[in-house]
Chains A and B, each alone.
Chain A
């Protein structure tokens, strides 16, 4: 395993920083998301909800992606591209 500062996956650093913020979110199956710290609420689509739930459970990007690839009809490339964009959104909203 690489123990240097360079993350293996562009999302490693995101999860390292935002793991706690993600855990505090209240998620509802309707897609309603509530951040009790800021009082802000959100709508998330079903696949976004799936990612949020997985990220609340663990901080290993590779495992999260494997889980999604097993359940959904999506290529690894598209998933990574989408996941990156999703993390950009979360970075903005969970500051």
Chain B
């Protein structure tokens, strides 16, 4: 045959639904992600397999520097404590510790991980509702800053400090209404009920505990910066009160995390760039309130407060993507296109509440149509995107899902599939495996088989 053959696309026909809004955008095809920080997606998949998580060291460093600049240009001193639960891959933590971030941990496991990585205890903030005696003893001996969550913990910690005869500086976590967020009343001591004041008095009466810090966390994915203004005001008012009445001298206010990332929360109607505040807007709201509220205190000659931030999502979310490949396609009975991907909610826990960006890795031809992206699990809930407009895809096509840096590498599941490799693209363009793909030996290594169950399987002929 002499003439060139025309390109084939999967044939498809879509009925027009009138009376529901008809999406209209530019025809897609031009918008695709071929490289990540200069490294070709095809090369990454060839070398490390699919699916694959890819971290950008450059983006991670840029993000933390931008956050620190936004705050330090308005107020000093500022400490950023890296929220381990958001992403505790050693390479991520180490990058942020190189940038000066402390560690914020919420379990014995995270504490041990930070210590093993080489973080001094004095640079660790230990949060969370679950701290057993053994880990509290270690923290007291090593000098980590414990954020007390409840009265039982307070009494236990007081006993430990007395037994070991170590003077221990502590922080208490508070919860309260801001009027802009749902109160997380299960964590810390409630302000309105007086529980927080009682705790402060109790610490003030302790021979070995010194109340030095106040902490609260007003929520997650906070879109209204006024929530932080109210938070800082309430923390400062409470500080005034207990410094007068509970023999406390506060050295730091920890305002927690909760800054939103540019991820689209499901059900959010406006474009993210209109609802997600910039880092400067967060910093402005927090620092200007803090400066106003502490002016008088500083005039009295009390030490300047350290502002502690525990922002996780806003630092790491957009520094990581997940590359996934199409393994099958199916036309649904209602007419929508659907694809089966090799990554699902087992790897992408955040798909339950975000509409992640999904972009092809090459220019796709054809008319975009309403599409469902399914993961590989044999479960109905395994949906990466419930509704996204995509041109027809073929088996083997890869898609870049972003941003995925927050919570996915800590909340992922080893359910029926191995967890894939994670690579980091460095600023010089080199690529390192920072967590290799799992294999059968890894998973079986946790198990042991009693002798009498080994072999002698009785299958009928």
Q: Which residues of A contact B (CB under 8 A)?
A: 31, 33, 40-48, 50-52, 68, 70-74, 78-79, 82-83, 85-86, 88-90, 92-93
Could you list 27 examples of A-B contacts with CB < 8 Å? Answer: A33-B13, A40-B15, A42-B13, A42-B14, A42-B16, A43-B13, A43-B369, A44-B12, A45-B9, A45-B11, A45-B12, A45-B367, A45-B392, A47-B8, A47-B9, A48-B11, A48-B13, A70-B1, A71-B6, A72-B6, A78-B8, A79-B8, A85-B10, A88-B331, A89-B12, A89-B331, A93-B13
B window 343-391: CB within 8 A of A:
366-367, 369
Using CB atoms, name the residue of chain A closest to B10. Answer: A82
Among B8, B329, B331, B367, which residue has its beta carbon within 8 angstroms of that of A72? B8
Between B10, B329, B333, B366, the greatest number of chain A beta carbons within 10 A of the residue's beta carbon is seen for B10
- Once A85-B331, A89-B331 are accepted as A-B contacts, the answer to whether A48 and B12 lie under 8 Å apart by CB is yes
Residues of the A chain whose Cβ atoms lie less than 8 Å from the Cβ of B333: 92
Residues of the B chain whose Cβ atoms lie less than 8 Å from the Cβ of A79: 8
Using CB atoms, name the residue of chain B closest to A25. Answer: B13
Residues of the A chain whose Cβ atoms lie less than 8 Å from the Cβ of B11: 44-45, 47-48, 50-51, 82-83, 86
Inter-chain contact B10/A89, CB cutoff 8 Å: no
Q: Which residues of B contact A (CB under 8 A)?
A: 1, 5-16, 329, 331, 333, 335, 366-367, 369, 392
From residue B234, how far is it (CB to closest CB) to chain A in Å?
A: 55
Residues of the B chain whose Cβ atoms lie less than 8 Å from the Cβ of A72: 5-8
Inter-chain contact A86/B12, CB cutoff 8 Å: yes
Inter-chain contact B335/A93, CB cutoff 8 Å: yes
Residues of the A chain whose Cβ atoms lie less than 8 Å from the Cβ of B16: 40-43
Using CB atoms, name the residue of chain A closest to B11. Answer: A48
Among B15, B331, B366, which residue has its beta carbon within 8 angstroms of that of A42? B15
From residue A89, how far is it (CB to closest CB) to chain B in Å?
A: 5
Using CB atoms, name the residue of chain B closest to A86. Answer: B11
For the A-B complex with A41-B15, A42-B13 known, give 8 more contacts whose Cβ atoms are closer than 8 Å. Answer: A43-B367, A45-B10, A45-B11, A45-B12, A47-B8, A51-B11, A73-B8, A89-B13
Inter-chain contact B13/A90, CB cutoff 8 Å: yes
Q: Which are the 5 A-B pairs with shortest beta-carbon distances? A: A48-B11, A74-B8, A73-B5, A72-B8, A86-B11
Residues of the A chain whose Cβ atoms lie less than 8 Å from the Cβ of B369: 43
Residues of the A chain whose Cβ atoms lie less than 8 Å from the Cβ of B7: 72-73
Residues of the B chain whose Cβ atoms lie less than 8 Å from the Cβ of A70: 1
Residues of the A chain whose Cβ atoms lie less than 8 Å from the Cβ of B12: 44-45, 48, 86, 89
Q: How far is the CA of A49 from the CA of B426 in the complex (A)?
A: 47
Residues of the B chain whose Cβ atoms lie less than 8 Å from the Cβ of A44: 11-14
Residues of the A chain whose Cβ atoms lie less than 8 Å from the Cβ of B5: 71-73
Residues of the A chain whose Cβ atoms lie less than 8 Å from the Cβ of B1: 70
Using CB atoms, name the residue of chain A closest to B366. Answer: A45
Q: How far is the CA of A85 from the CA of B15 in the complex (A)?
A: 15
Using CB atoms, name the residue of chain B closest to A93. Answer: B15
From residue B284, how far is it (CB to closest CB) to chain A in Å?
A: 47
Q: How far is the CA of A44 from the CA of B6 in the complex (A)?
A: 17
Q: How far is the CA of A52 from the CA of B367 in the complex (A)?
A: 16
Inter-chain contact A47/B10, CB cutoff 8 Å: yes
Using CB atoms, name the residue of chain B closest to A83. Answer: B11
Q: How far is the CA of A33 from the CA of B325 in the complex (A)?
A: 32
Inter-chain contact B13/A73, CB cutoff 8 Å: no
Among A42, A46, A85, A90, which residue has its beta carbon within 8 angstroms of that of B9? A46
Residues of the B chain whose Cβ atoms lie less than 8 Å from the Cβ of A43: 13-14, 16, 367, 369
Using CB atoms, name the residue of chain B closest to A78. Answer: B8
Inter-chain contact B392/A89, CB cutoff 8 Å: no
Residues of the A chain whose Cβ atoms lie less than 8 Å from the Cβ of B14: 42-44
Q: How far is the CA of A54 from the CA of B335 in the complex (A)?
A: 22
Using CB atoms, name the residue of chain B closest to A75. Answer: B8
Q: How far is the CA of A90 from the CA of B335 in the complex (A)?
A: 10
- Once A43-B16, A72-B6 are accepted as A-B contacts, the answer to whether A31 and B367 lie under 8 Å apart by CB is yes
Using CB atoms, name the residue of chain A closest to B5. Answer: A73
Residues of the B chain whose Cβ atoms lie less than 8 Å from the Cβ of A88: 331
From residue B17, how far is it (CB to closest CB) to chain A in Å?
A: 10
Between B7, B9, B13, B367, the greatest number of chain A beta carbons within 10 A of the residue's beta carbon is seen for B13
